[in-house]
Structure 1
């Protein structure tokens, strides 16, 4: 099984036993405030999304990781990649409980999963969406080499789409190491 371990996090692909954890994360109003619809997911939508996550690992060889804090194993959130049912291409998603915000964990998990994606798969690029008011997510996506390609994604002003390809990520990574 794929496992990514960083200084503070352990990331493993979601498995069926994670369904309740994922549903609780997606039901948290503070977590979902920055998502495109700014609303918690009802249980049936969370269950459908979770099944898409599981199918991703089976069909594509990549997907969403359950992210846990090291060493206490507390569930932090999720991070990874998937083929959304409503949009083409590979999409990045990352969510964390507010108790873990502001500690650099979002940067840590996104750096790690992006490095994993480009090292372990042939995916050449991915995209991510965040609200412009989510300054932390905007900073993370820029750090990964993301460039804004839409400022009103899906017709919603302030909903930014970032595109990130392997060369842009490699360039951004090299700048961080200088």
Structure 2
């Protein structure tokens, strides 16, 4: 299954028409301040992101979904699963991540999409564990992770950016659908 419906959202694979709306989200410094080194991404970089996400779908059987509002068909952002290279505490594990356009913040969309993705990982894909990494100062993401039942397990530092990070995790035995 590479499509999930929630009460308000459609999580699906990427379409060509998603490039421009996602690049607009990626161009917003407020959205990107929590992602990587915080630098906004260009149209070309966004196209590379989508291509890499689609390759991960083909190779792993999971990846980053496009998040579409059911009511309007508008692209709200991205949510999904990936296998991080760093930090070392989570390298090679399956992690959950999301980013939504600023217009979609504060409406529960991140929690709704992330919950559906976590269910997909643990129930549909049969994973035993999912992790997440967020900056220690990113309280909004920490709140979403708490709603998912993911507990903070450790802290670390991003060696590339110098940001303090928190590592979260949840095992299948802890998951409440």
Give the TM-score normalised by the residue count of structure 2.
0.84
- The equivalent residue for 2:75 is 75
Secondary structure in structure 2 of the residue aligned to 1:116: helix
Secondary structure in structure 1 of the residue aligned to 2:37: coil
- The equivalent residue for 1:31 is 31
Match of 1:127 among 123, 131, 134: 131
**Aligned partners of 1:165 and 1:17: how far apart in 2?**
36
Deviation at 1:73, TM superposition (A): 1.0
Deviation at 1:150, TM superposition (A): 2.9
Which structure 2 residues correspond to residues 53-132 of structure 1 after superposition, within 5 A? 53-86=53-86, 87-132=91-136
- The equivalent residue for 2:170 is 164
Q: Over residues 60-82 of structure 1, what are the superposed CA-to-partner deviations in whole Å (9 max), with x where a residue is unaligned?
A: 11111110112111111110001
Secondary structure in structure 2 of the residue aligned to 1:148: strand
Q: Over residues 98-121 of structure 1, what are the superposed CA-to-partner deviations in whole Å (9 max), with x where a residue is unaligned?
A: 111111111111111111221211
Query: For structure 2, which runs of at least 5 residues remain unmatched after alignment?
Result: none
**Aligned partners of 1:167 and 1:47: how far apart in 2?**
37
Query: For structure 1, which runs of at least 5 residues remain unmatched after alignment?
Result: 174-178
**Aligned partners of 1:11 and 1:26: how far apart in 2?**
18
**Aligned partners of 2:153 and 2:23: how far apart in 1?**
30
**Aligned partners of 1:34 and 1:82: how far apart in 2?**
17
**Aligned partners of 1:100 and 1:69: how far apart in 2?**
10
